[in-house]
């Protein structure tokens, strides 16, 4: 995890994502073949961006699976077994170009329907921040290396678990008041060497500001970490996680279930920071996505009330 500065900034580059849809292709062994259609072509995306995709089917489906390139896309059924939705994330390092999205639905009798789309990602120039620091300070002390490795392992194991139940519903809210300054994706170059991209969004927050759960979930990590300081990780279900870092105080324990808005702790400046702020990261499995994009896409399209357009 990179050093997290208190200075907030916002990349201003403009980006575009194009979505092209191919016609839904029904595949069935016999009778009236089921078919699938994407009813809400995703809005503009960027690397690190999130889209909500909803499909409708001509038949009741018992399962819908999907993938973007090799990454799984996890669907849930909406108001009927003919309407399914999923969140799709674009990797922050995604190269400009076309990403194939494939969606397959299955009926109780085993018939399947497939639909495909192409996500076309256009180049985005993230901000680059260049730092010159004393080489002795650029790396953590030798005595902390084992701890850091253990913590990275614990986080990787937490993010690898896909809870089949969806805990979250409706919009994700910012964990602290105020405007999110999305410095997601910013590249830090330390002494000329790339030192990683900013994996979350920073919020201005004085020490002691209540930090609330962005959405419902289960606490999977609540402890002090070398880089992130006092940290809470929430499993929202279906492979979606929130990480809240640099807290002055943690108010939950691992295993606890929380609702949207529940108190997780108070913001602070623990870990490797230069001042108090709240760092919120969102994971789709092993991939970080922009929390601001997640808030935006679900604010516009509440998952429980997705209506087919036309």
Touching Zn ion, residues 218-257 (CB under 5 A): none
The 10 Å Cβ neighbour count of residue 114 is: 16
Cβ-based nearer residue to Zn ion, 202 or 303: 202
Residues 255-284 that bind Zn ion (CB under 5 A): 279
Considering only the stretches 59-67, 194-202, 229-237, 297-305, report the one whose residues sit in contact with Zn ion under the rule CB under 5 A. 194-202
Report the distance separating Cα 114 and Cα 231, nearest Å.
Answer: 41
Q: From the list 83, 104, 151, 202, which residue makes contact with Zn ion (rule: CB under 5 A)?
A: 202
Q: Does 290 bind Zn ion (CB under 5 A)?
A: no
Rounded distance between C-alpha atoms, residue 192 and residue 132, angstroms: 8
The partner residues of 287 in beta bridges, in order of sequence, read 284
Nearest to residue 86, comparing CAs of 52, 43, 56? 52
CB of 183 to Zn ion, least distance (A): 7
Measured from each CB, the residue nearest to Zn ion is 279
Tell me how many residues contact Zn ion (CB under 5 A).
4
Contact 279, 245 (CB under 8 A): yes
Residue 168 or 184 with smaller CB distance to Zn ion: 184
Distance between CA atoms of residues 207 and 21, nearest Å: 47
Draw the binding track, 46-85, toward Zn ion (x: CB under 5 A; -: no contact).
Answer: ----------------------------------------
Instruction: Provide the minimum distance between the beta carbon of 256 and Zn ion in the complex, in angstroms, as a whole number.
Output: 24
Spatial CA neighbour of 46 closest among 310, 303, 299, 297: 297
Tokens of 219: 């606490």
Q: Which residues bind Zn ion (CB under 5 A)?
A: 4, 200, 202, 279
């Amino acid at each position: 995890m990179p050093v997290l500065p208190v200075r907030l900034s916002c990349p201003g580059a403009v980006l575009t994502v194009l979505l092209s849809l191919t016609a839904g292709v029904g595949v069935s062994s016999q009778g009236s073949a089921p078919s699938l259609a994407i009813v809400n072509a995703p809005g503009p995306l960027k690397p690190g961006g999130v889209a909500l995709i909803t499909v409708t089917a001509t038949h009741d489906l018992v399962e819908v699976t999907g993938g973007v390139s090799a990454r799984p896309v996890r669907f849930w059924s909406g108001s009927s077994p003919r309407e399914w939705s999923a969140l799709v994330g674009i990797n922050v390092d995604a190269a400009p170009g076309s990403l194939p999205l494939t969606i397959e639905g299955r009926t109780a009798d085993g018939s399947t329907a497939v639909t495909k789309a192409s996500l076309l990602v256009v180049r985005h120039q993230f901000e680059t921040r260049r730092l010159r620091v004393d080489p002795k300070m650029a790396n953590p002390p030798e005595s902390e290396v084992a701890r850091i490795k253990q913590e990275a392992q614990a986080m990787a194991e937490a993010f690898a678990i896909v809870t089949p139940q969806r805990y979250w519903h409706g919009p994700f809210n910012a964990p602290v008041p105020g405007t999110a300054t999305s410095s997601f994706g910013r590249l830090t170059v330390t002494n000329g060497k790339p030192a990683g991209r900013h994996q979350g969004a920073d919020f201005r927050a004085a020490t002691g500001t209540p930090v609330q759960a962005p959405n419902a979930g289960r606490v999977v990590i609540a402890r002090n970490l070398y880089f992130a300081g006092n940290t809470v990780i929430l499993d929202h279900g279906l492979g979606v996680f929130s990480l809240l870092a640099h807290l002055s105080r943690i108010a939950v324990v691992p295993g606890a279930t929380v609702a949207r808005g529940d108190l997780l702790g108070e913001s602070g400046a623990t870990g490797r920071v230069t001042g108090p702020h709240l760092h919120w990261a969102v994971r789709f499995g092993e991939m970080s996505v922009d929390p601001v994009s997640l808030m935006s896409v679900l604010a516009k399209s509440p998952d429980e009330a997705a209506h087919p357009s036309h």
